[in-house]
Amino acid sequence: MSMKINLKTIVKKSVCQLIILIVCCSNAFASDVDGPITEAEFFRATTLGEDATTDNKNARTVLPNINISVSAVNNAPKVAITSPSSHSIFPKDTVITFVASASDANGSITKVEFYNGAVKLGEDVSSPYNFDWDSIPPGSYVITAKATDNDNVVTTSKPVTITIKNTVNPTANTGDDVFLTLPENSVTLNGKGTSADGSTLKYSWLQVSGPSTVVIANPASQIIDLNDLIEGTYTLELSVTDEKGLTGIDQVKITVATDFIVQNAIPRYFTPNGDGVNDFWEWPQTDLFQKSILMVYDKFGKMVFDTANYNNTWDGKADGKILNEDAYYYVIRLYPKGDEIRGAVRIVR
């Protein structure tokens, strides 16, 4: 005959017994040539249960022992990407750090791998689990983390979507450098900023250097006024920041000088004879004359040299021809207001 163990009758037994009975639960076959089966018993050292299948003469047959192996159930590890959050947007050339948390209730985590779709980016074998991704082309990416435990059970995290945009930093423009001749000692700076995507910009002015500390009444304003400047060169910096936190920077120099300094900064002679000494008309303070126009004339009023923003390059020649020893006259048209300084320089060979 065929018989089944009724699990309802053993629900109250121990967990271990229940597992064994579930594992062992199967059909049993018994027969008797001279009568019916009245009882069948199941043993694990002691009786586990019975079915009324011994024969009518109380005769029994004992089957050989059956070995059963019981294994504990392994819980899968847990893993989640904690940073960045899904749908985050980053500018191009940003290094993105992915951070994941991982745990295993009945074991340990051996590694956490980071994937862009099906492509493995990298892995970390110790907590905190992270990976830095750089040189990312513009586009959208689906990132997952896979945690592996000590029994090689793997769990994949929920995906995180990030977007890399081909954004451009805003540009700042402080305008041209400024030259002031005392007693003039104030200036207005009009900064400008542009953003490639048209986002709103925040302005910030900062003094980088100078002979005195200037008062910037409203450093967050686009236009600022500087007053009570003293002799020397000041450097001011403008930063413009867009809504994504990207920043552009520009600087402006403000030179404040006296007529005496300007005129005495210019040498009265030089010796362009090719001996490597004093071969150029070298000014010690060319920064005082940035963007100013220099014009040099001979005694007949013919222009022999001219340039803007002189940087000590005149070697006593006119169009490549060597000029005679003589006195030459110069005019410096100061930037930005056009005031002129006049003087003479002699070429000595």
Q: Which of 165, 187, 205 is the last residue of a domain?
A: 165
Q: Which of 223, 257, 291 is the last residue of a domain?
A: 257
DSSP annotation of 92 reads T
Residue 21's pLDDT is what?
37
Q: Report yes or no: 264 and 150 within 8 Å, Cβ to Cβ.
A: no
Selected residue with higher pLDDT from 111 and 42: 111
Map tokens 């000041």 to a residue. Answer: 234
Selected residue with higher pLDDT from 260 and 251: 251
Residue 65 belongs to some domain of the structure: no
Map tokens 């002129």 to a residue. Answer: 340
pLDDT digits (tens, 9 = 90+) for 225-258: 999 999 888 999 999 998 878 889 999 999 888 7
Q: Report yes or no: 94 and 46 within 8 Å, Cβ to Cβ.
A: no
- Listing DSSP states for 196-232 in one string gives TT----EEEEEEEE-SSPPP-S-TTSSEEEE-S--SE
| Residues 74-93, mean pLDDT to the nearest whole number | 89
Residue 57 belongs to some domain of the structure: no
Residue 320's pLDDT is what?
93
Same domain membership, residue 177 and residue 125:
no
Residue 182 belongs to some domain of the structure: yes
Same domain membership, residue 34 and residue 98:
no
Q: Report yes or no: 130 and 122 within 8 Å, Cβ to Cβ.
A: no
Map tokens 């699990």 to a residue. Answer: 7
Place 264 in a pLDDT band, splitting at 50, 70 and 90: confident
Place 182 in a pLDDT band, splitting at 50, 70 and 90: confident
Whether the predicted pLDDT of 155 surpasses 90: yes
Q: How far apart are CA 266 and CA 132, in angstroms?
A: 56
Average pLDDT over the chain, rounded to an integer: 83
Q: How many C-beta atoms lie closer than 10 Å to residue 256's C-beta?
A: 24
Whether the predicted pLDDT of 119 surpasses 50: yes
Instruction: Say which CATH number the domain at 111 has.
Output: 2.60.40.10
Whether the predicted pLDDT of 9 surpasses 50: no
Please name the helix (run of DSSP H) or strand (run of DSSP E) that holds residue 30, with its range, or none: none
- What residue numbers bound the domain in which 127 lies? 78-165
Q: How far apart are CA 80 and CA 103, in angstroms?
A: 10
> What Å distances lie between residue 330 and 33, 89, 204, 293, CA to CA?
138, 59, 41, 10
Q: How far apart are CA 124 and CA 39, in angstroms?
A: 61
| Range list of H helices, 40-158 | none
How many CA atoms lie less than 13 Å away from 71 in the CB half-sphere? 3
Residue 63 belongs to some domain of the structure: no
Q: Which of 146, 165, 184 is the last residue of a domain?
A: 165
Q: Report yes or no: 22 and 42 within 8 Å, Cβ to Cβ.
A: no
Residue 130 belongs to some domain of the structure: yes
Residue 37's pLDDT is what?
64
Selected residue with higher pLDDT from 24 and 269: 269
Same domain membership, residue 183 and residue 143:
no
Q: How far apart are CA 172 and CA 251, in angstroms?
A: 9
Query: Total structural domains in the chain?
Result: 4
Same domain membership, residue 300 and residue 339:
yes
Q: How far apart are CA 255 and CA 210, in angstroms?
A: 9
Contact residues for 274 (Cβ-Cβ < 8 A; gap 6+): none
The percent of residues in the chain predicted with pLDDT above 90, rounded, is 55
Q: How far apart are CA 54 and CA 69, in angstroms?
A: 28
Longest dimension (CA), the chain: 150
Same domain membership, residue 332 and residue 278:
yes
Residue 324's pLDDT is what?
94
First-to-last C-alpha distance (Å) of the chain: 133
Residue 59 belongs to some domain of the structure: no
Q: Report yes or no: 311 and 331 within 8 Å, Cβ to Cβ.
A: no
Q: How many C-beta atoms lie closer than 10 Å to residue 294's C-beta?
A: 20
Same domain membership, residue 341 and residue 267:
yes
Whether the predicted pLDDT of 65 surpasses 60: yes
Same domain membership, residue 152 and residue 85:
yes
Same domain membership, residue 143 and residue 190:
no
Same domain membership, residue 104 and residue 142:
yes
Residue 91's pLDDT is what?
78
Whether the predicted pLDDT of 172 surpasses 70: yes
Same domain membership, residue 286 and residue 231:
no
The helix/strand/coil state of 313 is coil
Phi-psi label, residue 102: left if phi above 0, alpha if psi -120 to 50, beta otherwise:
beta
Same domain membership, residue 112 and residue 141:
yes
Stated pTM of the model: 0.42
Instruction: Say which CATH number the domain at 322 has.
Output: 2.60.40
Residue 222 belongs to some domain of the structure: yes
Residue 62's pLDDT is what?
62
Same domain membership, residue 342 and residue 268:
yes
Residue 67 belongs to some domain of the structure: no
